[in-house]
A and B are shown apart, each in its own frame.
Chain A
Amino acid sequence: MSDANQEQLAQQVTDAKARLDAHTYEMVQWHFHESTGSPFWLQKKAELSFDPLTEVQGFDDLKKFPLFEDEWLRGGPVNRWIPKGLEGQPTFVFETGGTTGIPKSRVVIEDHRLDYEMFSETLPDEYFPKGANWLMLGPSGPRRLRLAVEHLCQHRGGICFCIDLDPRWVVKVIKKGWMEHLEEYKKHCIDQAITVLTAGHDIKCMFATPKLLDQLANALEERGTSLPEIGITGIFSGGTEFTPQWTRYCVEELFGGPAEESGVYMTPTYGNTLMGLACSEPVTKENKYKITYHAPQPRAATEVVSFDDPNELVGYGETGRVKLTTLTKELFIPGFLERDEAEREEPHEMYPWDGVSGVRPYHVFAKSTTVGVY
């Protein structure tokens, strides 16, 4: 990078940080003011040893809060999470987990739409044409992803086709060791997808989980066709299984080459019900399919922090736990340790703030995590 470009990036980084600080201040005022805050945070405020309204001026002041515990999201009433300033608006509830026990819930009014509209801006029209129809090859049920992908498609002028997929059943099947049932369930999902794709709906774009994308591509080949042949040009996918090797495998073996040769473009994403969607820097063979994500700042921020001290950033290129902060009018999460670890990455000209790469399950949890088809 030339000196001029470096200078320009440095300025962009400074500006982005200023925006983040201002946005943090605004969101803390919203969530902790008696007239606008949610019952949950107004109650928490009483337990804090500081006054957020006067003592949080910028992003770094969020360290004054204790870490967010996602256990707080279990059970009802979910209304305690709705800020008074948004009361009365149509509200969704989305769940994560829930294979056994009470799932974690998040109420949403329009965050999922806003997040995916922002994400839409990053999609190249050449491969994700406006007006194209989509296939959502992912979980159904009370999942944010399901409605978010449908909204993304509609926002871009298309109609979204979906399948039935119950990820909780998949996890149960794996835990029971019913591997034949698992294979059959995957086939059941893929059969639904192929039925939609071959029914004349002119589908060009899709969301797919890594495992289902792999399964779909192979199933199409067994039927003598392929993703490009069936008309797919744009794929968006995500998850910790989305590694550089996996991406290379998709590009080289499932699609038949990079987008300019095969006509199929895939973009990885990293996200969850709490944060929204982190976008990836362009992934190329030249950079060994390295995947670096940047959060949708200032609405959310990701940091890579020391395994021992969640308030201490690791150095660039170093490994640590992924820490998430969400700052929207609907949800305030002042520092939540994700179940993932990663390397800290430098700001990028498209995203002038820190990124994360090499995202994978946190090594302490990895041994007990069950990853199904979802």
Chain B
Amino acid sequence: MVNIPVIRWGEEYESLETQELIHHATGEVIGTQSMANGGLITRDMRKAQKARDTLKQFSIDELVEKMGKAGDLFVNGTLSIGGSEQTPQDFVVQQSATTGLPEHMVELGMSKNAFVMNNMGRIIDSLTRGLPLDILSKGWGKEDRGIPVSFQCQTPILAAVLPSNSPGVHTLWLPAVPLQIGLVLKPGQKEPWTPYRMFAAMEAAGIPKEIWCLYPGSGAEIGSAVLSKCSRAMIFGSKQTVDNYKGNPKVQAHGPGFSKILIGDDCVDNWEEYIDLIVESIFINGGRGCINTSSIWASRHTEEIAQALAEKLGPVEALAPTDPNAGLAAFTIDGMATAIWDSIKDDLEEDGVTHVTAQYGDRLVEKELCGYIRPTIVHCKSPENAIAKKEYMFPFASVVECPEDQMLRTIGETLVCTGITNNESLRQQLIDCTDIDRLNLGPVPTTKLNWLQPHEGNIIDFLFRNRAFQVPEELL
């Protein structure tokens, strides 16, 4: 059995409080994790500068190379986790067991993380727009055109309060290490696996373990301690979490994406061509991501689109996580699936809302220790229907009837928008729409990521300040 310790600047710390890691379907105890208390973080953060000093003993290029090795080890290596040897297969089984993700999705997540680690040099080059990397180490340098430029590091460490339900988010904090910034992570209570395997892989690849702190613990206590004691922190949570930290330069809050597909009047008569793309955008990775589509907007044919999506997604069943065909992840928190479904049921009562997947049987599947919700497609006669702007952590989408000229005024916050149109005027409006973060112009799934582009805020802008800087000519 795995016993996951707290990690304090690379050193293991066994807490007197532990929590069992339990298989979501069988109830089997597969490990324990030490639970940190908030005070430990306050104490440890006094030594945070040491993490950056340690990493600065290596150049960014050297760290990029080590990250590549760590990526290989992450995917292929047998690593020491909590006093036990963990093979890649052990990792897959353990993560699936506690998070409810099907095993093949865990494997996919592993390869995504490894891709980012293996391509860190290109990713940093893209994020910095080709900035000479020693400028980030030294704090200043000279641009090609001879002008001094300064990127001042804002923190010796990057902290992150991580979720239990979406192992994909780990790619967001990975660039910190080659940028010579230490890591302070609070793993999700059901997903300590990725951060601990990353820690082990990086240590095995020659990155000093002293740059790491890992604090399993309660969200309220450890989450708030991390956010209040660290000068730069990411948090993953609900819309309320995002709203709470809006405008706080120390916190980058990631929440629901409300990602959408908009079909212009010029393309909508050919809607059948886009059904597979829409299905992929809703369904891939269990529909859990903020980049999964939660609504499709068009001025006509919406009922037919909804029906076509329902035909493809409605019959999907909740399969065992070991089944290679499993497309749904379990809700592992007691009562969560039922609570979500109850909330959806209330919204379905509204005039103008039709539950199109109802014809394919019950959506809520309650198991003894967990629950599933099968893919759900809803048709909305109007954007005013409350469910048109809802997002859930399973394959769920509303197909919303809305005149084209009202769409961009109505869609609201949108992390990823795929605009399917050849209408130049609409394309320009999509480009100008400030509610949209990542924009795909043309038939690209909302879930298709280009790793060489920033996701929801550039980490360089978050960790460094590009400021004015002057030196006498002879120092240039």
Do A and B share a complex? yes
How many Å lie between the Cα of A250 and that of B40 in the bound state?
A: 10
Nearest neighbor of A289 in chain B, beta-carbon distance:
B16
Known A246-B39, A249-B40: A179·B16 in contact at CB below 8 Å: no
Q: How far does the Cβ of A334 sit from chain B's closest Cβ, in whole Å? A: 35
Q: Are B16 and A244 in contact (CB under 8 A)?
A: yes
Give the CA-CA distance A288 to B16 in the complex, in Å: 7
Using an 8 Å CB-CB cutoff, how does the interface string of B1-25 with A read, 1 for contact, 0 for none?
Answer: 0000000000000011100000000
Q: Is the CB of B228 within 8 A of A183?
A: yes
Q: Is the CB of A214 within 8 A of B35?
A: no
Give the residues in chain A near B39, CB-CB below 8 Å.
214, 218, 246, 249-250, 253-254
The chain A residue sitting closest to B244, CB to CB, is A177
Q: Which residues of A contact B89 (CB under 8 A)?
A: none
Q: Which of A177, A179, A245, A248 has the most CB of B within 10 A?
A: A245
* B405-420 with Cβ < 8 A to chain A: none
CB distance from B229 to the nearest CB of A (A): 10
In the complex, chain A residues whose CB is within 8 Å of the CB of B228: 179, 183
Q: Is A38 an interface position by the 8 A CB rule?
A: no
Report yes or no: A245 in contact with B42, Cβ–Cβ below 8 A. no
Q: CB of A243 within 8 A of chain B?
A: yes
B43 interface contact, C-beta 8 A: yes
Give a binary string over A297-311; 1 marks a CB under 8 Å from any B CB, 0 the rest.
000000000000000
Contacts of B38 in A (CB 8 A): 214
Known contacts A179-B228, A218-B42: A248-B244 contact under CB 8 Å: no
Chain B nearest CB from A369 CB (Å) reads 10
State the CA gap A246–B37 with chains docked (Å): 7
Instruction: Please measure, in the bound complex, the distance between the C-alpha atom of A183 and the C-alpha atom of B35, giving whole angstroms.
Output: 23
The distance in angstroms between the C-alpha atoms of A250 and B38, with both chains bound, is 12
Q: Which of A177, A183, A218, A245 contacts B37 (CB 8 A)?
A: A245
Q: Contact between B16 and A248 (Cβ–Cβ < 8 Å)?
A: yes
Given the complex, which residues of A lie within 8 Å of B238, measured CB to CB?
Answer: none
Complex Cα gap A254–B39 (Å): 9
Interfacial chain B residues near A246, Cβ < 8 Å: 37, 39
Specify which of B17, B43, B224 is in contact with A245 (CB 8 Å cutoff). B17
Q: For window 22-44 of chain B, which residues contact chain A by CB distance below 8 Å? A: 35, 37-40, 42-43
Q: How far is the CB of B176 from chain A (nearest CB, A)?
A: 24
- How many chain B residues touch A (CB < 8 A): the figure is 14
The contact string, 1 if C-beta is below 8 Å from chain B, for chain A 150-178, is: 00000000000000000000000000010
A214 to B43, CA, bound (A): 10
Q: Which residue of A lies closest to B217 (CB)?
A: A245
CB distance from B381 to the nearest CB of A (A): 36
Write the nearest CB–CB distance from B228 to chain A, whole angstroms.
6
A187-232 contacts to B (CB < 8 Å): 214, 218
B244-A245 in contact (CB<8A): no
In the assembled complex, the Cα of A177 lies from the Cα of B244 at a distance in Å of 7
Whether B17 and A214, one on each chain, are in contact in the complex, defined by CB atoms closer than 8 angstroms, is: no
Q: Mark contacts of A246-273 with chain B using CB atoms, 8 A cut-off: 1 yes-contact digit, 0 otherwise.
A: 1011100110000000000000000000
Given contacts A218-B42, A245-B16, A245-B17, contact A179 B37 (CB under 8 A): no
CB-CB under 8 A for A243 and B224, given A214-B42, A253-B43, A254-B39: no
Distance, CA A214 to CA B40, complexed state (A): 10
Interface set, chain B 200-227, CB cutoff 8 A to A: 224, 227
Chain B residues near A250 (CB-CB < 8 A): 39
Query: Which residue of chain B is the closest to A218 with respect to CB atoms?
Result: B42
CB distance from A370 to the nearest CB of B (A): 9
Chain B residues near A179 (CB, 8 Å)? 224, 227-228, 244
Assembled-state Cα–Cα distance A254/B244 (Å) = 32
- The distance from the CB of A284 to the nearest CB of chain B, in whole angstroms, is 13
Of residues 227 to 258 in B, which have CB atoms within 8 Å of A's CB atoms?
A: 227-228, 244
For B42, the chain A residues whose CB sits under 8 A away are 214, 218
Q: How many angstroms from the CA of A250 to the CA of B37 in the assembled complex?
A: 11
- CA separation between A177 and B253, bound complex, in Å? 15
| Residues of chain A contacted by B16 (CB below 8 angstroms) | 243-245, 248, 288-289
Cα distance, A71 to B447, chains bound together (Å): 53
B36 nearest in chain A by CB position: A245
Complex Cα distance, B19 from A243, in Å, reads: 14
Interfacial chain A residues near B224, Cβ < 8 Å: 179
Q: A250 to B39: give the CA distance in the assembly, Å.
A: 9
Q: Taking beta carbons and an 8 Å cutoff, which residues of A are in contact with B? A: 177, 179, 183, 214, 218, 243-246, 248-250, 253-254, 288-289
The 10 closest A-B pairs by CB, nearest first: A245-B16, A245-B17, A244-B16, A214-B39, A249-B39, A177-B244, A245-B15, A245-B37, A253-B43, A218-B42
Question: Can you list 15 A-B contacts (CB < 8 A)?
Answer: A179-B224, A179-B244, A183-B228, A214-B42, A218-B39, A244-B16, A244-B17, A245-B15, A245-B16, A245-B17, A245-B35, A245-B37, A249-B39, A250-B39, A253-B43
- With A250-B39, A253-B43 given, can you name 15 additional A-B contacts, CB distance below 8 Å? A179-B227, A179-B228, A183-B228, A214-B39, A214-B42, A218-B43, A243-B17, A244-B17, A245-B37, A246-B37, A249-B39, A249-B40, A253-B39, A253-B40, A254-B39
Footprint of A on B, CB under 8 Å?
15-17, 35, 37-40, 42-43, 224, 227-228, 244
